[in-house]
Structure 1
Amino acid sequence: MSTLEKKLLAAPRKSRYLLTVAAVVLVLFVWSLTTVSFQDMDQSGAHIALNIFKGLLQPDLSLLFNFTAQGVLYLLVQTVAIAFLGTLVGSVLAVPLAFLAASNIVPRPVSWLTRLVLIIIRTIPALVYGLMFIRVTGPGPFAGVLTLGLVSIGMLAKLFMDAIEELDTRVLESMTSVGCTTFEKIRFGIVPQLLSMFLSVMIYRFDMNMREASILGLVGAGGIGAPLIFAMRSYKWSEVGSLLIGLVVLILIIEWVSNRLRSKLVKG
């Protein structure tokens, strides 16, 4: 018997711990099933699901390749624009908030207060923000941009803050010893080290915002979501198929591009 096998056999058994965890998970699973109701599932629901599948197989090609404001391509471009602008706005505002939330950069009271603000921002769902901004700006893409910008701040600032706090503090200490101000430490000592990481997180958030922008269209915040729900309510399944095909293809393209960009940033 090899040394590795002896160490493996000599390791303490965790069967009781694993059984306890499995029992807890099973109880939670059964309890969660009690909140799910299958009574509303009837033949009409199955018929609608079948019609959606037929719409994917028989899409409205005239709508799919329509270059007017009612076409799928225009709606997809509008969705990408909303996601991009929302990510850009959120990223710009998240950077200063991340530095204000980092305990190794600013005094702890300032850090705690900023973190509390970020927690509050992350707590409210995107659809709620969308409904709020629609009341302020009216329905349309601008409400979607503001919504995605605000939603992005919470996540981006949190990830930026974690990266800032994991920096080697010796660089900051050396800059402090030569009399650098806080702004100079951020500008010349921190930002060059974090730039690639910040860009990678921003690309990831843009990928998420593409999906968020599609959902926000359901409440009238622009994008492809509103035409999709209108087509489903009107039982126009061929239009639903065209919209879904365009959305899936766009998401796959953006996923592929974002993965390549993030991998290059990591290697760089």
Structure 2
Amino acid sequence: MTTVERQLLTSPRKIWYRLAITFIAIILIGWSVGAVSFKDVNQSGFQIAFNIVKGIVHPDLDLLFNVSKQSVPYLLVQTLAIAFLGTIVGGILSVPLAFLAASNVVPRPVAWLTRLLLIVIRTIPELVYGLMFIKVATGPLAGVLTIGIVSIGMLAKLYVDAIEELDVKVLESMTSIGCTTFEKIRYGIMPQLLSVFLSVTIYRFDMNMREASILGLVGAGGIGAPLIFAMNSYKWDQAGSILIGLVILILLIELVSNKMRARLVKG
């Protein structure tokens, strides 16, 4: 008998604990299923789903390969630009907030207040931000602002985790030889954080591309609005063209972003 098997046999049997966890899980699953209503699932819903699949199989090729402002390529480029600029804005704003939220950099009260602000930012959904910003600026600008604010919540949190894992011995050594604050940031902090920051930002851009396609539903630019208009007008071939273009673009972005993050981790 191996050591692992002996430890398994001699470990205490927490039968009541497991039964209690199982009972609570069953209750939660039953309560969740009871909260879901299947009354609205009817024949028309299945017909719409069938029409969407039919539109993907038989898309509007002119809309898919045209180069006008109403075409799929133009709308995808606009959505890509919204996601990219929003990620840049969110990444830049997240850096100072992350340092203010790191307890090993600033006093704990300051870090606690900044973390509270980040929690509030993460709590509000992106569609709510979109509805707020279209009152200030319509179109793609509202989408960029929305993506930027939404990105701050996640990016700053992950930046904080990286900052709090800094090797402080390097900074102590630089202080002992008389380095200035700028030199400590440039040669002591940034080399440790740059690859992590870039990897997290690229991952967030991958997510923002999906969110940017949804923001068009509230008028914040991108491909979401034409998609919902096509579906509401029962133009399934146009909806299929938009979905095909969106899926291809997201797959390409995910492929490229995965390779970039893998290189950053190795480097």
TM-score range normalised by the length of the shorter chain: over 0.9
Q: Distance in 2 between matches of 1:150 and 1:199?
A: 18
Q: Return the letter of the residue paired with 2:88.
A: L
For 1:254, the equivalent position in structure 2 comes to 253
Measured in 1, the distance between the counterparts of 2:3 and 2:240 equals: 60
Within a 5 Å distance, the mapping from 1:89-238 to structure 2 comes to 89-138=89-138, 140-178=139-177, 180=179, 182-238=181-237
In structure 1, what is the equivalent of residue 69 of structure 2? Answer: 69
By how many angstroms is 1:183 displaced? 4.6
Cα deviation, residue 179, structure 1: 5.0
Residues of 2 paired with 1:23 and 1:176: CA distance? Answer: 57
Distance 1:170 1:74, change over 3 A: same
Displacement of 1:234 in angstroms is: 0.2
Confirm or deny that 1:22 pairs with 2:22.
Answer: yes
Segments of 5+ residues of structure 2 without an aligned counterpart are: none
Q: CA deviation at 1:87?
A: 0.3
Q: Distance in 1 between matches of 2:234 and 2:222?
A: 20
The alpha carbon displacement at 1:34 in A equals: 1.9
Moved more, 116-125 or 127-136: 116-125
Question: What SS does the aligned partner of 1:40 have?
Answer: coil
Classify the secondary structure of the residue corresponding to 1:137.
coil
Deviation of the 1:168 alpha carbon: 1.9
- Structure 1: distance between partners of 2:184 and 2:102: 13
Letter in 2 for 1:104: N
CA positional deviation for 1:184:
4.2
Name the CA distance, whole Å, in 2 between partners of 1:206 and 1:105. Answer: 27
Pair 186,100 (structure 1): closer, same or farther in 2 beyond 3 Å: farther
CA gap of 1:145–1:8, structure 2 versus 1, over 3 A, is same
Q: Distance in 2 between matches of 1:54 and 1:249?
A: 18
Amino acid at match of 1:24: I
2:35 alignment counterpart: 35
Structure 1 unaligned regions, length at least 5: none
Distance in 2 separating the partners of 1:109 and 1:10? 46
1:13, 1:267 → 2: CA distance? 43
CA RMSD of aligned residues (A): 1.5
2:110 and 2:216 map into 1 onto residues whose CA distance is 37
Write the deviation string for residues 29-88 of structure 1: whole angstroms up to 9, x where unpaired. Answer: 111122211111111111111111111111111111111111111111111110000000
Residue 46 (structure 1) aligns with: 46
| Partner SS for 2:134 | helix
Give the secondary structure class of the aligned counterpart of 2:234: coil
> CA offsets per residue over residues 135-164 of structure 1, 9 Å max, x none?
0112x1110001000111111111001110
Q: Shift of residue 192 of structure 1?
A: 1.1
Percent identity (aligned) = 72
- 2:126 maps to a residue whose letter is A
Which one is further off, 106-115 or 175-184? 175-184
Post-superposition offset of 1:117:
1.5
Task: Please tell me the residue identity of whatever aligns with 2:174.
Answer: M
Structure-1 separation of matches of 2:114 and 2:3: 53
Provide Cα deviations, 1:195-247, integer angstroms capped at 9, x if missing partner.
00000000000000001101101101111100000000000001111111111
